[in-house]
Amino acid sequence: MEEFIKELQQNSNSNFQIKKDEYKNNISLTMDKLTESILETCKETMLDASKNGNYNAVIYQFSNEDSFDDHKVSFLVKGPKMNRRGEGQGLEFFENKGIKPIMQRIQEHLNPINCILKFDPRKKTHFVIARWKQTT
């Protein structure tokens, strides 16, 4: 019986790591797709806003209920609200897994344009906003 228990523990340990790696890869690929989706249309959106005399544009918006590839968008952009397994909460969760957060990816791509995440509690909507006004 002891050998059987050891076999069970070895199987669980090796398969747990495989499952954990697959989860990380799945989240990372989904975040890649979402980032590409946002960046695909953002330049046109910003150009339209600048033609109207604006120095900022909403390049993406989502509610807490919106999903992308079977993941909540709020989770993909902001990370988990709570630290349930000691993996961190918020963006720390992604950093601990070696995954670059979506806002950081967008900021790096659009640099020197500043990108922020803003929440409107009345509309219950999150906005990714690009700002390009120069201050002198």
Number of domains in the chain: 1
pTM of the model: 0.84
Identify the H or E element spanning 128: strand 125-131
pLDDT-derived band at 135 (thresholds 50, 70, 90) equals low
Residue 136 lies in a domain: no
Burial-class residue 82 by CB neighbours within 10 Å (0-12, 13-18, 19+). Answer: exposed
Residue 18 lies in a domain: yes
Judged by average pLDDT, the poorest of 3-12, 26-35, 45-54, 121-130 is 3-12
> What are the structure tokens assigned to 7, written together?
């076999």
Residue 42 lies in a domain: yes
Mean pLDDT of the chain, nearest integer:
93
Residue 55 lies in a domain: yes
Burial-class residue 106 by CB neighbours within 10 Å (0-12, 13-18, 19+). Answer: buried
| Whole-number Å distance between alpha carbons of 55 and 57 | 7
pLDDT-derived band at 104 (thresholds 50, 70, 90) equals very high
Cβ atoms of 112 and 73 closer than 8 Å: no
pLDDT-derived band at 1 (thresholds 50, 70, 90) equals confident
DSSP string, 60-80: EEEETT-EETTEEHHHHHH--
Residue 49 lies in a domain: yes
Structural domain of 53? 2-131
Residue 36 lies in a domain: yes
pLDDT-derived band at 85 (thresholds 50, 70, 90) equals confident
DSSP string, 34-55: HHHHHHHHHHHHHHHHHHTT-S
